[in-house]
Amino acid sequence: MRLIVNGSALEVEAETLGHALDALDYGDAKVATAVNGAFVPAAARATKRLEDGDRIEIVAPRQGG
C-alpha cells in the first residue's frame, strides 16, 4: 500500500504499523511513532492497522533545545 512515511510517499507491504517498521528496516531501533498525527505507543504498533494513504511519523532522539 502507499504510505507517507516521514513526509515521503512509499510503497510498503504492511498490514500493521509493526509490519511497516519491520519492512522499513527499523529493527530494534529506539523510535516513537504516530499515525495521521496521533501518537501510537510501541505496545500498540502490532495491532495498529494501516490504510492506504496513512501518514506515519517515525522519530528518534536527536540534538536540540
Partner 1 sequence: MDGPLTFYGETIGSRLLLGTAQYPSPQVLADAARASGAEILTVSLRRESGRLREGQDFWGLIQGLGVKVLPNTAGCHSVQEAVTTAQMAREVFGSSWLKLEVIGEADTLQPDVFGLVEAAKILTDDGFRGVPLHDH
Q: Which residues bind partner 1 (CB under 8 A)?
A: 6-7, 21, 24-27, 29-34, 37-39, 41-42, 57-65
Query: Cβ 52 to partner 1, closest distance in Å?
Result: 20
22, 41 in Cβ contact below 8 A? no
**DSSP structure class, residue 52:** T
Shortest Å distance, C-beta 49 to partner 1: 19
Q: In the bound complex, what is the minimum distance in angstroms from residue 5's beta carbon to partner 1?
A: 9
What span, in angstroms and rounded, lies between the C-alpha atoms of 51 and 64? 33
